[in-house]
Structure 1
């Protein structure tokens, strides 16, 4: 069966879910309003692996097409909902866990799973008193604005486990920086300190990283990168269509079209593969390939836009300048040559 097409049709969510992204005043710049929008979107968003993965990734791409920061806020919330759904499918009492951390349909979620030098978060069991978190977690986006998060913490020297955390609980301190980024400036990603914070485990040790859904979520991020580059392609096309435009302008527009078309085809095929079903190892390889292709395409379009359009829009067009800055930071979730080296090790005979 042929893969579903990634069509990027205008997104029209149901009336009870959310207004289209374009209708949200301050989308991407007003953080509370954007989080509220993301929560509404999450109530009806498709789940990965449900047969509608392509629609989920179209949703993320369309959000990024409207505003990159909005997609950066939406994506982890949707990822958290997918993780909780997958945990329920693997026998976790998700309803009970959510009740224990005070999360209802209005909860806003982050996913904090990064590690970094000089920061370590550890979880310890206290018998009938449950689990506690102590330490510091780096790269916690919008921890001071969200209500809840799924957080990985070390439970032994070589094993991590996922926990649901109420971010407003006593003992949680979300730092305001350092965050000097010019891109995604409002999506502050800074450390969070935990001091004997009561949390609830989601899945067994190692479950979060070993499930196929970990790879699926990584491709969803790539779909957002791709959508974020589409307005730059539009700008290149408009420049090439101007009277007096030279062949370089046409070349730039054609190059952007080709690489983004190829990335779209990869995303569509990946969505079909996710819905068909893949083992853990195959899912990881699929994600590594898809993210590499999309990241290369997006970085190529960013460079084409810089070269073909010159400094004008970067210095005098607020929307363009912010999109470029936001997208450059967002796509750095792909670790470039290091991720390609990991892919190479995966596919070695």
Structure 2
């Protein structure tokens, strides 16, 4: 399976990924090679990484998994580990993990010694189809998602679908949400085929999702225009994710679970403001509720979630900007939404 060219680097899949990494390290003359893992990837993925790639690491750094640890404090720990283990500007950091780890590891590498090389090896479906492309790195600010970070490209991204065998079904379905989003914003045929696909972890589906996101990102690397369409479902979805993260009485939602709710809500807004058909809206709602349990929100929850919208990264001049759909496969950006429609959207979600 050929590689996908993304801006200044390549995304390699399966067997070609092994050869690409070996060749890169052989020619790069790195002073040290470090690997960043969490407790899950250390147990389930690191042995396969060592077996398949036969790369000698000078040190392996372990952090705690989960969004709650995607903080500047964790970065400080890794910066110190790099420094204590003789890291310099010619070092390489390999990030072996899901989106939280690759986002954080990429940010750590981008800022240590004003920037060292890093390679991402995503181990979850979500990170393979989403975090693998685009160069977004960073951490959360408290419970607010991805408020601190930079856009900086890795040397390469290596995708091994075999890592998916280490995941539970909840993690797999979380990644499926982002794949469905790719169809909704850019490719109606992909949406149609994917929503009835039994094995969406197949390498061909993963490659298709990566290719869709890559096509968008290469047109707009710094998110000034079309790249914003990748945020469909994320404006309300991130607010929901943050609210559940900071509220001890709520179960924490995985990213894809929160975004699935966000896509139903923003689908409703699309119907109200941009002419998305009632039939398409119902199709979106039915598809997500087939795979994701409905989340219960009371009036106080909804009020708090709406308040969190003011922290969304796409905001400008005090306005909350949404990505909405004119039709399945066709998204529009920078849409202002009246506050009363948020409440109607949640009422539709509850129906």
Question: TM-score per shorter chain, which class?
Answer: under 0.3
TM-score (norm 2): 0.27
TM-score (norm 1): 0.27
Say which structure, 1 or 2, has more relative contact order (CA 8 Å, 6+ apart).
Answer: 1
